[in-house]
Structure 1
């Protein structure tokens, strides 16, 4: 079984991940259309598949070549624990729904998971030319500059957010999302609901936002941000304060000074 902590080797491996996400991002930026027309669900799904297909070749082979023996998670929407060993969780267009609708909130991500723990990640935002990186026990960075979560200590001064993990969530999840938004509208300064999760989580890591929570677990969206937030000094748990794992049913990432207050608000929602 692989050793979880291998920071020096992982820093070198991170370079390959950065190269891959930036290459995919450059290709997507060239074909990005700031406005588009999609007239029904079939057209939306076809556009999502087409954009994924454009980006994936820039990720798949380079990442597998950089880490022979690592496997690739094929289902972006999958959840739960993985078999032991190393896995690449790469999203060819994180926020694809935004990309195909001509909006700017999208990225390309690559995260290496070792024995069910994210150990390195690269998140590239092509339109902003920002690359967020982290290595476990090695810190988190934006374009090489260290990241730190915010110094907020009061939830009523906090910017908080959540989002829908995937289309077709069950009714109970929709209910919990709605109740949590209502609760946070009362408890926090500003509450937003948007996708994708990774783009909210990088803002928590950068100290621009303070709290993000999600009721369903989708690996590809949470893994990069979980590592970035924790390496930037934030707290990443489930809704009851237990350390977040791939098998956790829910997710909470926050600046340490407001984590307990956010958890108190959200833990009451069942």
Structure 2
């Protein structure tokens, strides 16, 4: 039987080492080396090399596990678990690449672990602040090994909300802007950090009451979903209790404002 707590501690060490590489490269990063996966979808050698470091470390940590990776360094499908494996790592080597490229703080290493179809461990390492958020199924959530919890704020109008903006697919932009406008009027404010992994970790740590975004991939949210749940919060899709890991949209909260968030989204989002 795999000891998930020890495994998550080992995962945290692997993510910290990968984050150290990112921090080292940030000091002398050359923007001319940036490539484009899409119109505004950036990737750099730092993303790719960080992923290779993570894969190598995770293969030592849990031999035989499968991989879902953003940059495809293992050749795996970014939206489907590997067949025939009990465990699957879901990796975003540098969540917040655009921030990194422009020299802005807040970019993360994010790694979640699936056992069959259940998230059982996750780490988000925010490089700029040297904060390592860790969670294990049934074992709680931590930041730099201190327990974290979602807030007990009961109302949306007293909440700080996080979101992300679409940068490749603008087909639902008008609907999204209507939702954004409603949240701006019904809360303490809306923040756009530029890293979904950080947004979710900060909901877990009680810095935000809620977070919503669409067009996300599994590697953007895997670790963060478990962090929020283990910190006492709730994570769903926008309008129902669907799968937020592969469902391409996410609503995360302290639990108390969740239905208010979903009701706000429901007013303007196409069914």
- The normalised TM-score by structure 2 is 0.86
3-state SS of 2:149 partner:
coil
The 1:108–1:242 alpha-carbon spacing in structure 2 relative to 1, beyond 3 Å, is same
What residue is the counterpart of 1:123 in the other structure?
124
Contact 1:73 1:87 in 2 (8 A): yes
Match of 1:3 in 2: none
Q: Secondary structure at the match of 1:257?
A: coil
Q: Shift of the alpha carbon at 1:29?
A: 1.0
Change (3 A) 1:113 1:155: same
Kindly state the Cα deviation for residue 95 of structure 1 after the two structures are TM-superposed: 0.9
User: Secondary structure at the residue paired with 1:73?
Assistant: strand
Q: Which runs of 5+ in 1 are unaligned?
A: 1-5
Task: Tell me the residue number matched to 2:168.
Answer: 168
Q: Does 1:10 align with 2:4?
A: yes
Shift of 1:83: 5.3
Checking the alignment, whether the CA contact within 8 Å between 1:122 and 1:134 is kept in structure 2 is yes
Q: Distance in 2 between matches of 1:82 and 1:39?
A: 31
- Could you say which residue in structure 2 is the equivalent of 1:67? 62
Aligned structure 1 segments of 4 or more residues deviating by more than 4 angstroms: 34-47, 76-81
The answer as to whether partners of 1:24 and 1:59 remain within 8 angstroms in 2 is yes
Counterpart Cα distance in 2 of 1:136 and 1:126: 24
The answer on whether the counterparts of 1:109 and 1:124 sit within 8 Å (CA) in structure 2 is yes
Q: Mapping of 1:210-249 within 5 angstroms?
A: 210-249=209-248
Cα deviation 1:180-207 (Å, max 9, x = unaligned): 1111112111012342111111110000
The 10-residue stretch of structure 1 (40-49 or 140-149) with the greater mean CA deviation from structure 2:
40-49
Aligned counterpart in structure 2 of residue 23 of structure 1, from 17, 34, 42: 17
Greater fraction helix: 1
Aligned counterpart for 2:49 among listed residues 37, 45, 54: 54
What's the secondary structure of 1:56's corresponding residue? helix
Q: Is the 8 A contact 2:69 2:92 kept in 1?
A: no
Instruction: Return 5+ residue gaps in structure 2 as ranges.
Output: none
Q: C-alpha displacement at 1:149, in angstroms?
A: 0.3
What is the count of residue pairs matched by the alignment? Answer: 262
| 1:83 to 1:262, Cα distance in 2 relative to 1, 3 A | same
Alignment of 1:1-270 (within 5 A): 9-33=3-27, 48-75=43-70, 82=81, 85-164=86-165, 167-172=167-172, 174-268=173-267, 269-270=269-270
CA displacement, residues 104-160 of structure 1 (integer Å, 9 cap, x when unaligned): 110112211122322101111232221100001110000111111011111111100
Cα displacement (A) at 1:76: 5.5
Aligned-residue RMSD, C-alpha: 2.8
